[in-house]
């Protein structure tokens, strides 16, 4: 290889190494440089409690806030005076639950809730035409009549519905623009909706305006969801927003029932417009009480829970009675004894029959007693030879001294004739058996 070729190869290799080194250095400073990146993170407390922001806001304004999981749990004890917020928009309330709430409101308290959708907003399949001679529906109840009805919304003739017309703007005050939302904020609407709201002209902005005890009218975000009155027969509200479609307050005794078209006080909506000011204004409707209660769910009580609260004394007595009956039945239970073999049962029956025959036969009792005494003497000769060598009176005295038996009983068992009465004869045999067992062990 010539010198020129070697120089060309070396130069090419040098240039390649230089380019590779430059590429590695550039990639290192471009990709491996430490930078700060903002990420949205939601705390566990906020995930568990969607009303955490409202709770902190009320506590900052010196309100005592109480969070209750369900309405059923809240109604188990007397309600404190103040304000009650039912945060669950799609929950169902029973008339039995509504009655104590309205009595509590009539004492001068405030109830805040969101009604359910109007029944006509629910899609109901059209009924098929009935055949000739058959009533429409085939005698079955129409599906529309089976829909659950919101008792609170029914009382005031109000429900949720759609409203596509643009709302009027607050004319007496400048309406602030909606807060910019984070791209990954859970619970917020899509970003294109926020862009559409910000890009809309001022006269087309969906704003609801309400005047309460505030120095300026409050601006509320209003979407296509609106309060839908059920005709002219619905009761007139005590106050409402400018269009009557976002917030309405109904007088109930000395208190107020507030119905809203949208849950404005969740952590995703509280920061928008004047929603936080509306929460504080509604809390001030009851100026004498600083208690604010938030109910997160409106789940219906279970059948067993309702049964227990209605008849717990009877159920407790019934459970105690069942436990006593079970205890009485369980006393007879236990491990089963193995059944004796047939030859063994025959031997026992033979021994029993032999004993009964000897007891009744002439000289049979003496034979049984002599056999028992012979076994006892054999045990004494093997285990206690000193006792066996004594005379009978001395043996009786020594056994009475060692075992604390009465001398009369030992005389009866070892020396006297066989008794004619069964209890006495049984005592003779039993004492001989006890002595034999003691010395054999």
Q: Please answer whether residues 92 and 298 qualify as being in contact, where contact means their C-beta atoms are separated by less than 8 angstroms.
A: yes
**Degrees (nearest 5) of the Cα angle 106, 108, 112?**
80
- Do residues 209 and 287 both lie within one domain? yes
Is pLDDT of 435 > 60? Answer: yes
- Do residues 349 and 293 both lie within one domain? no
- Do residues 171 and 278 both lie within one domain? yes
Query: Concatenated DSSP letters for 284-319?
Result: TTSTT--EEEEEEE-PPPPHHHHHHHHHHHHHHHHH
Highest mean pLDDT among 125-129, 307-311, 314-318, 417-421: 314-318
Q: In this predicted model, which residue has the larger pLDDT, 21 or 230?
A: 21
User: 168: pLDDT confidence band, cut at 50, 70 and 90?
Assistant: low
Is pLDDT of 290 > 50? Answer: yes
| Lowest-pLDDT range of 163-177, 240-254, 367-381 | 163-177
Percentage of residues in the chain having pLDDT higher than 90: 4
Look up residue 331 and give its two tokens: 């006393």
Predicted pLDDT of residue 342 = 62
Predicted pLDDT of residue 173 = 42
Highest mean pLDDT among 19-23, 69-73, 87-91, 165-169: 19-23
User: 166: pLDDT confidence band, cut at 50, 70 and 90?
Assistant: low
- Do residues 190 and 280 both lie within one domain? yes
Predicted pLDDT of residue 332 = 62
Predicted pLDDT of residue 22 = 92
Chain segment 348-378, per-residue pLDDT in tens:
778 888 888 888 888 888 888 888 888 988 8
18 lies in some domain: no
Is pLDDT of 279 > 80? Answer: yes
The rounded distance, in Å, linking the Cα atoms of 280 and 112 is: 12
3-state secondary structure of 112: strand
Name residue 160's beta-bridge partners.
117, 227
Which of 300, 335, 364 terminates a domain? The answer is 300
- Do residues 404 and 292 both lie within one domain? no
The rounded distance, in Å, linking the Cα atoms of 441 and 437 is: 6
Is pLDDT of 320 > 90? Answer: yes
Is pLDDT of 91 > 70? Answer: no
Query: Concatenated DSSP letters for 207-262?
Result: EEEE-SSSSSPEEEE--SEEEEE-STTSPPPSEE-SSSSSEEEEEETTEEEEEESS
370 lies in some domain: yes
Chain segment 100-145, per-residue pLDDT in tens:
889 888 888 889 888 887 765 444 444 445 455 454 544 454 544 4
- Do residues 227 and 294 both lie within one domain? yes
User: 193: pLDDT confidence band, cut at 50, 70 and 90?
Assistant: very low
Look up residue 250 and give its two tokens: 């109904």
| Cα 225 to chain centroid, rounded | 34
Range of the domain at 186: 44-119+148-300
275 lies in some domain: yes
**Total count of domains within the chain:** 2
Closest by CA position to 403, among listed 374, 377, 432, 381: 432
37 lies in some domain: no
Look up residue 200 and give its two tokens: 């809309």
| Lowest-pLDDT range of 52-66, 284-298, 305-319, 357-371 | 284-298
Q: In this predicted model, which residue has the larger pLDDT, 176 or 364?
A: 364
Closest by CA position to 115, among listed 236, 225, 234: 225
Predicted pLDDT of residue 175 = 42
Predicted pLDDT of residue 20 = 93
Q: In this predicted model, which residue has the larger pLDDT, 19 or 217?
A: 19
The rounded distance, in Å, linking the Cα atoms of 362 and 369 is: 13
Residue 156 CB contacts under 8 Å (≥ 6 apart), including other chains: 234, 235, 248, 250, 257, 259
Which of 239, 272, 300 terminates a domain? The answer is 300
- Do residues 285 and 352 both lie within one domain? no
129 lies in some domain: no
5 lies in some domain: no
Q: In this predicted model, which residue has the larger pLDDT, 93 or 55?
A: 55
The rounded distance, in Å, linking the Cα atoms of 79 and 375 is: 88
The rounded distance, in Å, linking the Cα atoms of 246 and 135 is: 43
C-beta neighbour count of 280 within 10 angstroms: 18
What does pLDDT average to over the chain?
A: 77
Q: Please answer whether residues 371 and 428 qualify as being in contact, where contact means their C-beta atoms are separated by less than 8 angstroms.
A: no
C-beta neighbour count of 347 within 10 angstroms: 12
- Do residues 159 and 244 both lie within one domain? yes
- Do residues 290 and 348 both lie within one domain? no
In order of 2, 49, 245, 253, 285, the CA distances from 214 in angstroms are 96, 28, 20, 24, 12
- Do residues 272 and 174 both lie within one domain? yes
Look up residue 31 and give its two tokens: 């990709």
The rounded distance, in Å, linking the Cα atoms of 151 and 341 is: 76
Chain segment 419-432, per-residue pLDDT in tens:
888 888 889 889 98
27 lies in some domain: no
Residue 44 CB contacts under 8 Å (≥ 6 apart), including other chains: none
| Lowest-pLDDT range of 31-45, 90-104, 162-176, 363-377 | 162-176
- Do residues 293 and 356 both lie within one domain? no
3-state secondary structure of 159: strand
Which of 300, 321, 351 terminates a domain? The answer is 300
The rounded distance, in Å, linking the Cα atoms of 105 and 253 is: 7
The rounded distance, in Å, linking the Cα atoms of 92 and 78 is: 21
φ/ψ of 84, rounded to 5, equals -125, 125
Is pLDDT of 21 > 90? Answer: yes
327 lies in some domain: no
Predicted pLDDT of residue 300 = 63
- Do residues 278 and 363 both lie within one domain? no
Closest by CA position to 263, among listed 149, 120, 122, 112: 112
């Amino acid at each position: 290889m010539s010198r020129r070729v070697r120089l060309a190869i070396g130069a090419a290799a040098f240039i390649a190494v230089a380019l590779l080194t430059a590429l590695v250095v550039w990639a290192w400073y471009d990709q491996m440089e430490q930078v700060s990146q903002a990420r949205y993170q939601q705390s566990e407390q906020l995930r568990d409690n969607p009303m955490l922001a409202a709770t902190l806001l009320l506590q900052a304004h010196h309100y005592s806030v109480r969070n209750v999981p369900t309405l059923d749990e809240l109604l188990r004890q007397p309600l404190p005076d103040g304000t009650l917020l039912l945060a669950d928009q799609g929950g169902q309330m029973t008339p039995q639950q509504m009655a104590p709430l309205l009595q509590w409101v009539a004492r001068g308290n405030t109830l805040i809730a969101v009604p359910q959708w109007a029944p006509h907003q629910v899609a109901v399949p059209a009924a098929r035409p009935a055949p000739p001679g058959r009533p429409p529906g085939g005698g079955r109840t129409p599906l529309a009549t089976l829909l659950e009805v919101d008792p609170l919304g029914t009382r005031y003739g109000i429900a949720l519905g759609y409203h596509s017309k643009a709302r009027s703007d607050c004319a007496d005050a400048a309406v602030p623009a909606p807060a910019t939302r984070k791209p990954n904020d859970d619970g917020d609407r899509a970003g294109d909706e926020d862009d559409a709201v910000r890009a809309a002209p001022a006269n087309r902005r969906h704003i609801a305006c309400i005047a309460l005890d505030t120095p300026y009218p409050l601006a509320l975000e209003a979407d296509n969801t609106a309060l839908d009155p059920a005709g002219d027969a619905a009761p007139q509200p005590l106050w409402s927003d400018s269009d009557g479609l976002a917030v309405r307050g109904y007088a109930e005794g000395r208190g107020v029932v507030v119905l809203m078209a949208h849950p404005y006080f969740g952590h995703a909506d509280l920061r928008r417009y004047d929603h936080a000011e509306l929460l504080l204004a509604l809390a001030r409707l009851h100026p004498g009480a600083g208690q604010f209660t938030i109910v997160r769910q409106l789940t219906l009580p279970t059948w067993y829970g309702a049964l227990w609260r209605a008849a717990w004394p009877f159920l407790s007595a019934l459970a105690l009675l069942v436990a006593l009956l079970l205890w009485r039945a369980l006393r007879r239970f236990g491990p089963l004894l193995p059944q004796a073999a047939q030859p063994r049962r025959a031997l026992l029956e033979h021994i029993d029959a032999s004993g009964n025959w000897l007891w009744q036969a002439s000289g049979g009792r003496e034979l049984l007693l002599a056999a028992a005494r012979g076994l006892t003497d054999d045990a004494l000769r093997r285990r206690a030879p000193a006792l066996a060598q004594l005379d009978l009176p001395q043996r009786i005295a020594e056994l009475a001294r060692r075992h604390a038996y009465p001398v009369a009983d030992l005389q009866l068992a070892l020396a006297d004739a066989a008794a004619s009465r069964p209890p006495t004869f049984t005592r003779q045999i039993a004492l001989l058996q006890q002595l034999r067992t003691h010395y054999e062990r």
